[in-house]
């Protein structure tokens, strides 16, 4: 809707934006997730104004846009909030600034990397996120002519340039999909080889598997996950920013912990409201207790705030089939994983959430032997 010409062929996306024809992102598109905020910087550079809806996306915590808006203001943007939308202008253009992130937000770091690459002067992002996807974005921007340095203390320094040029880039494989499919193999006692899975982006996940005596084999082309062993032992884990255990892995991994032997502890330190999905797992037979206390090794930023951000999982417990309504992307995948190892036929509603984060997940699982079928609600037998 902004004017880009997009062509998708053989998993390659070609993007050409000779001009911006519209600075207004429609709610029916931009309100579905949080990606519209990423368009603001580039559109301000080219047009001097941008208008986006308030974000939608997964209900896993507060996730305000304050980090983005405050940083853009530091860089010279002016913003007005009205009628459920944000209207940005940059009457004197965007300039460099020192942006201190209160938390190393991945999307905020991405936003400022892109915006600062064309801003006048030097931008410093302090307490920046350093996830593999951030490094990959920096590589792409560097190919386009950006000047970006990563310092040792979570600082990223960007020296703005006048123009970026076109470039080609091969993206990282999706580590969230790799983790989800690997867990499916362990839950169903399967044998799965993931071609293209990258060890260097999965180090913490693989270390956790090793602690649970779960088998995997790594070669130059991918990773093989072998689920032929006995129930793994219980474990204590907590989510963290990279290089810690990724928060997006927490939900599918908790399903795996329902089949572990003993009492497992999960401490969520990234989002304050990411255990809502466990109620459905409890209805399937899982033994899960939620706690507002920090049950991990460190006291996190949610301490004394009464958020249920820790859980204890007792296993192994057999799961039984049920009807499930998906609240967000990772919870949806977790429900499908739970249904794969549950006794009976489960019905999972709201698969549009899953499709925002997984490409043809049902087709891939069928290829691996899962009995899974996509149907319209009117075709379901009640």
The catalytic site residues sit at 58
For the record, the structure tokens of 313 come out as 């999982």
Contact of 187 with 200, CB cutoff 8 Å: no
List CB contacts of 298: < 8 A, sequence separation 6 or more.
238, 269
Burial 25-61 (b: 16+ CB within 10 A, else e): beeeebbeebebbbbbbbbbbbbebbbbbbbeebebb
Cα separation, 251 vs 266, in Å, equals 10
Contact 53, 31 (CB under 8 A): yes
**Distance from C-alpha of 350 to C-alpha of 26, rounded to nearest angstrom:** 23
Q: Which residues contact 293 (CB under 8 A, 6 or more apart)?
A: 303, 310
* Beta-carbon contacts of residue 272 (< 8 Å; ≥ 6 apart): 61, 62, 302, 305, 307, 309
- Per-residue CA distances from 315 to 15, 91, 104, 254, 260 (Å): 48, 59, 34, 11, 5
Rg (CA), the chain: 22
């Amino acid at each position: 809707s902004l004017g880009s010409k997009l062509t998708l062929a053989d998993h390659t996306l070609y993007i050409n934006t000779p001009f911006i024809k519209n600075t207004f992102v429609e709610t029916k598109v931009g309100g579905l997730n949080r990606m519209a905020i990423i368009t603001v910087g580039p559109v301000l550079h080219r047009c001097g104004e941008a208008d986006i809806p308030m974000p939608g996306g997964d209900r896993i915590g507060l996730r305000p846009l304050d980090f983005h808006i405050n940083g853009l203001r530091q860089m010279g943007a002016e913003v007005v909030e009205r009628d459920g939308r944000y209207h940005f202008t940059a009457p004197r253009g965007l300039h460099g600034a020192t942006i201190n992130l209160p938390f190393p937000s991945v999307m905020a770091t991405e936003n400022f990397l892109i915006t600062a690459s064309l801003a006048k002067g030097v931008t410093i992002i302090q307490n920046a996120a350093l996830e593999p996807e951030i490094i990959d974005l920096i590589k792409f921007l560097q190919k386009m002519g950006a000047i970006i340095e990563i310092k040792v203390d979570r600082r990223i320094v960007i020296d703005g340039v006048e123009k970026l040029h076109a470039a080609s880039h091969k993206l990282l494989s999706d580590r969230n999909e790799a983790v989800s499919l690997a867990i499916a193999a362990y839950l169903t006692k399967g044998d799965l080889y993931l071609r293209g899975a990258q060890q260097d982006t999965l180090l913490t996940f693989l270390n956790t598997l090793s602690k649970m005596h779960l088998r995997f084999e790594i070669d130059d082309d991918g990773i093989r996950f072998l689920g032929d062993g006995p129930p793994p032992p219980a474990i204590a884990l907590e989510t963290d920013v990279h290089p810690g255990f990724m928060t997006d892995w927490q939900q599918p991994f908790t399903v795996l912990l329902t089949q572990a032997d003993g009492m497992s502890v999960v401490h969520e330190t990234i989002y304050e409201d990411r255990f809502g999905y466990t109620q459905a797992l409890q209805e399937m037979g899982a033994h899960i207790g939620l706690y507002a206390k920090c049950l991990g090794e460190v006291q996190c930023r949610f301490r004394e705030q009464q958020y249920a951000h820790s859980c204890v999982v007792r296993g192994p417990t057999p799961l039984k089939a049920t009807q499930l309504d998906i609240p967000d992307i990772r919870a949806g995948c977790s429900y499908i994983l739970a249904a794969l190892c549950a006794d009976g036929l489960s019905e999972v509603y709201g698969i549009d959430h899953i499709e925002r984060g997984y490409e043809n997940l049902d087709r891939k699982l069928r290829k691996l032997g899962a009995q899974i079928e996509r149907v319209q609600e009117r075709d379901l037998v009640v």
